[in-house]
Amino acid sequence: MYKLKSPDVYASEIAGFLNSLLQGPDFVVNNPTSLRDISDNSFFYIDKGADLPSELLRKHKNVLILSSKKIDLPENTISYIETKSPRSAFMKTVNEFYIEFDSVAIAESSTVHRQDLLGRGVSVGEHTVIGPEVSVGNYTKVLNNVVISGRVKIGNHCLIKDNTTIGSEGFDFECDEDGILVHGPQIGEIVIGSNVWIGANTSIEKSFVDKTIIQDNVKIDDLVQIGGSSSIHKNTMITAGVIVSRNVTVGENCLLSPNVSVRDSIQIGNDVTIGIGSVVVKDMPEGAVYVGNPARLLRKNK
């Protein structure tokens, strides 16, 4: 999906990109690295409270550090850029200068029923199936062995990883008067916004008659289940192993930690964090942290 490249980028260019000033000498920065693998002409970030690896730095030249505080430079070939969030600044810099996407293509082994419903620069991987009622926005990447079926709209600049199913038939049954389970056919729509990340082996179900909605900038990890008629609001992160049952609403700017389970028809407010392995069986008001089984209030967000 991504390939590393080695451009001739100067430390001063990185500082300008981050709207900051370069402290120390200017030089070409060839590649990103980490604290454990420092090399010449590389750059890395250092978290708040972490110690500067001065002994390691003395063995290398032309090293750029992204830091949240001022640094006493150990050598005249070391430079730094002060930034409020070093890790996010590191990510942005890598994205801007040091990676490129694999060539945009629709794999021969894939089945795309309506290529006229694909936007500009869409990439479709090997053995992927995209149904006749699916529209895909510009520069979205659909990787390998993905199945997208039913009435589905996907926005721009999304990423859908391997083995994911979007538009699977929802597990929706109701007993009739004779106690026989009747399946409600899932004929609703799935609407996915822009800049959405959907992890590998994830399932997003169609709704019975309305919509399953994933808003802009939502990030969904691997091995996640999103039930039909659910609505995940913008800037929310859903991490690995989470189960969201049907007809659930998750507000904006939320974090569902690994292996959280959410019962059907639950309402989760904005700015909510739910701790690892928690089981949500009642509505969660906004602006708080909840943990446990059943999930309970730990604290209000500051």
Mean pLDDT for 277-284 is 97
Confidence band (pLDDT; 50, 70, 90) for 137? very high
Confidence band (pLDDT; 50, 70, 90) for 74? low
User: How far is the C-alpha of 236 from the C-alpha of 191, rounded, in Å?
Assistant: 16
φ and ψ at residue 91, rounded to 5 degrees: -60, -45
Quick check: 3 pLDDT over 90?
no
Mean pLDDT for 129-148 is 96
User: Each residue of 190-238: pLDDT tens digit?
Assistant: 999 999 999 999 999 999 889 999 999 999 999 999 999 999 999 999 9
Q: What is the pLDDT of residue 5?
A: 82
Segment among 63-72, 146-155, 263-272, 287-296 with least mean pLDDT: 63-72
Quick check: 106 pLDDT over 70?
yes
User: Each residue of 36-55: pLDDT tens digit?
Assistant: 888 899 999 998 777 777 77
Q: Which of 66-70, 95-99, 186-190, 276-280 reaches the highest mean pLDDT?
A: 276-280
Tell me the pTM: 0.84
Confidence band (pLDDT; 50, 70, 90) for 250? very high
User: How far is the C-alpha of 69 from the C-alpha of 71, rounded, in Å?
Assistant: 6
Cβ 235 vs Cβ 257: under 8 Å: no
Asked if residue 132 has a cis previous peptide bond (ω within 30° of 0), the answer is: no
What is the CB-side half-sphere exposure of residue 206 using CA atoms within 13 A?
Answer: 20
- Cα distances from 9 to residues 14, 20, 115, 238, 285, in angstroms, run 7, 16, 38, 35, 47
Cβ 288 vs Cβ 301: under 8 Å: yes
- Averaged confidence pLDDT in the chain: 92
- What is the number of helices (H) and of strands (E) in the chain? 3, 37
Q: Which of 70-84, 117-131, 176-190 reaches the highest mean pLDDT?
A: 117-131
Spell out the domains of the chain, with CATH numbers in brackets. Answer: 2-101 (3.40.1390.10), 111-300 (2.160.10.10)
User: How far is the C-alpha of 104 from the C-alpha of 87, rounded, in Å?
Assistant: 29
Q: Which SS3 state, helix, strand or coil, does residue 129 take?
A: strand
Q: What is the pLDDT of residue 60?
A: 87
